Amino acid sequence: VNTSTTDDPSTTPGPLYPFGAGDTVSSRSDDGSSPPITLEQPFVYFGKPYQQIHVNHNGHLTFNAAFTSYTPYRFPAFSSRDLIAPFWTDLDNRRNGTISYRQYSSGSVLQQATQDINQYFPNLGFSVNWVFVATWDKVPYYNTFGTEITFQVVLIAGGQSSFILMNYGEIAPTTQNIQAGYDTVNSIHYFSIPGSFQSNDTTFSYTSNVNVAGRWAFQTNATTSTTDGPSTTPGEFTLHPINS
C-alpha cells in the first residue's frame, strides 16, 4: 500500500482538529485501507488494549485487520469485530479527496484534547498523553465524484482512560445508507449516532452530545456491560440550526 506525507498547511474547518501538514496520506484506492499503523502507546477500547489500527477508506477504523466493507450494518450488530465508524458508507478516494492520519505525543493538539475532554467529562482531572487523528477531507461518495464529505475521528488516551471524538465538516447529501458510531465484539458496548440509516445524513454536521455542532464525544475505557449505548456519554443530544 502506498502512503505519503503531505506538506500542505493544516486546516481546521468546523469542529475538526488540525490536519494536513505532517499527516501520512493513505493510498488512492476504492475500498482500500491504510497498512497496519503501530500505535505509539496502547489504546484501550472497552477493556482491550490495542497496539495497532487500520484506517479503512469507507469511513471506519478497525484494530486486528483491515476491513474493506462499503455496506454498513446497523449497530448493534452482535458481530465478532471491534469497530469505530465515524461515517461508514461507500466512499471512493481514487480521483478526489484525501484520507490521512497522524499520531501526537506532544504539542498543541494534546493541549486542545486535554481541554476538550475535561470540559465534556468534568471531575476526571484528565491529562492527555497521546492523540491519533484520522481525517477524510473532501472525499466523494462512490460513483458520484462531484460530492464532498469531510469528517474525522480522534482517539485520545491518558493513563487508563480513553476517549473518541467524531467531528463532522461538510457532508453532501446521499441516498446511500450511513452508519455512524461504534460497536464492539458481541455489541457489549455500542452507540449509533442519530441520523444513521436515515435520510437526513447532512445533519451530522449540526448535531452533538457535547453542545459543539458537528462533534460527538465518547469515553471508551469502560468495562461494564450495556446494550443501550454508553452510560458515560456526556450531555444530551442537541440539534444546532444551520444559521445559528
Please give the average pLDDT of every successive group of 10 residues along the chain, which has 244 residues. 45 80 92 95 96 98 95 96 97 95 98 97 94 98 92 96 97 94 97 90 91 97 47 48 41
Decide if 128 is inside a domain: yes
Decide if 200 is inside a domain: yes
Decide if 19 is inside a domain: no
Decide if 163 is inside a domain: yes
Q: What is the pLDDT of residue 227?
A: 34
Q: What is the pLDDT of residue 238?
A: 57
Decide if 55 is inside a domain: yes
Decide if 199 is inside a domain: yes
Q: What is the pLDDT of residue 29?
A: 82
Q: What is the pLDDT of residue 233?
A: 45
User: For the chain, what is the HEC assignment?
Assistant: CCCEECCCCCECCCCCCCECCCCEECCCCCCCECCCEEEEEEEEECCEEEEEEEEECCCEEECCCCCCCCCCCCCCCCCCCCEEEEEECCECCCCCCEEEEEEECCCHHHHHHHHHHHHHCCCCCCCCCEEEEEEEEEEEECCEEEEEEEEEEEEEEECCEEEEEEEEEEECCCCCCCEEEEECHHHCCEEECCCCCCCCHHHHHCEECCCCCCEEEEECCCCCCCCCCCCCCCCCCEECCCCC
Q: What is the pLDDT of residue 217?
A: 98
Decide if 108 is inside a domain: yes
Decide if 66 is inside a domain: yes
Parent domain of 142: 4-8+26-239
Q: What is the pLDDT of residue 230?
A: 33
How many domains does the structure of the chain reveal?
1
